[in-house]
Structure 1
Amino acid sequence: MTKVLQVLVGLFCFALVGCSVASNEMAAGNISDINHVEGTAINWFSVNGYRASGGGGEQCCIVLPIRWRPGLMLEIEWEVDPDTSVKLPSITSDEFQSAYKKHAEGYRIHRASVEVPEWSGTDSCGLKVHFLPCSQVKVTTSCWGYGSPSNPIKEPRNMKEPAVCPG
């Protein structure tokens, strides 16, 4: 066997072993969000490129591995309206477009990498993304609803954004 052929066969065998050992089975689940920051709105968010509208409620879909593994990270990006108290003119008025454009200039995009807490194959119920003050994010796959003593996210709703964030 030539040296090149030996290398190719070796690489092929290595690839087969890698495929059989790695459990890369994926499944789709619902995704939802909870905004904990008073006076703000999450306009939209994405998790690993899967985009959803903010405002709570479950949406389809996020794709995650069937089995949890250590170091499983999610890349989250979201747009915040930091001032939901603004009153815009009627959408049918001539002033609406310019007023909306001015208001939208205050929107802010945030990004965070978040590690997914461990779950077992029987207790994953989609992904819930919790938006906290200071552009912090927590995620859970818990089947327990927010507010339940068994839910791992304990931060209250309607938290105030501090004048200065730590770090």
Structure 2
Amino acid sequence: MKTLISRVIWQWAGVCMLLSLAGCSPGTPKFLAGDLNGVNHTSAAINHFSVNGYGGANISPYGYGGGVCCVMLPSQWSPGLKFKVEWETDPNSTARLPRLGTDEYRAGYAKHKAKYQQHSAIVDIPSYEIGTLCSLKIHFLPCNQVKATTACMAYGQPGYPIKDPIEMKEPAVCPK
């Protein structure tokens, strides 16, 4: 047991040394890391979402989720850069299920989960200054539309670029 603990400590120390040396390497890094946040403007819960495979938190209907570290974006922004957003929605997040652990619960949950919906969108990476990235905020809008910003402020603050209200209704017909 003592040997295992000693080996883990030395491995941890080695990783720390490598990471500290990596931070000292000359040149501009190819990628920047920032928090990944989401804003849900819809009545469906977002069970989970990801940006280029980097996972985000779940988000309640008309709510916020995030502070998940980290999403990686190119260190230098240029026009035409895009990323892929994938998310899963629960259109009835307030469904009542039978008591947990029972056969009725398992059957009810399977029926409920069958209604989850998978979505994806290709989104332009919003501009940001060279070498700086506070966070990437993904806004989920009705009709499976997505907007994104790299603003270094929170949704609703003066100067925040996305002005859509938090509670948006799904139109009868979504635009193509």
Alignment of 1:85-124 (within 5 A): 85-121=94-130, 124=133
SS in 1 for 2:99: coil
TM-score of the pair, normalised by structure 2: 0.76
Q: CA deviation at 1:123?
A: 5.7
Q: What is the one-letter code of the residue matched to 1:43?
A: N
* Aligned residue number for residue 93 of structure 2: 84
Q: Which runs of 5+ in 1 are unaligned?
A: 1-22
Q: CA deviation at 1:149?
A: 2.1
Q: Which runs of 5+ in 2 are unaligned?
A: 1-27, 60-64
Q: CA deviation at 1:42?
A: 0.5
Q: CA deviation at 1:154?
A: 0.6
* Aligned residue number for residue 37 of structure 1: 42
Q: What is the one-letter code of the residue matched to 1:148?
A: Q
Q: Is 1:125 matched with 2:130?
A: no
TM-score of the pair, normalised by structure 1: 0.80
SS in 1 for 2:128: coil
Q: Is 1:49 matched with 2:53?
A: yes
SS in 1 for 2:102: coil
Cα deviation per residue 1:45-100 (whole Å; 9 max; x = unaligned)?
Answer: 11111122322031011111111111110111110111123111222333111101
Q: CA deviation at 1:37?
A: 0.3
Q: What is the one-letter code of the residue matched to 1:50?
A: Y
Q: CA deviation at 1:24?
A: 6.8
Using the alignment, how far apart are the partners of 1:90 and 1:121 within structure 2? 53
Using the alignment, how far apart are the partners of 1:122 and 1:149 within structure 2? 24
Q: Is 1:27 matched with 2:32?
A: yes
Using the alignment, how far apart are the partners of 2:90 and 2:52 within structure 1? 21
More displaced stretch, 57-66 vs 106-115: 57-66
Cα deviation per residue 1:145-164 (whole Å; 9 max; x = unaligned)?
Answer: 10012111111112111221
Q: Give the number of aligned pairs.
A: 144
* Aligned residue number for residue 67 of structure 2: 58
SS in 2 for 1:58: strand
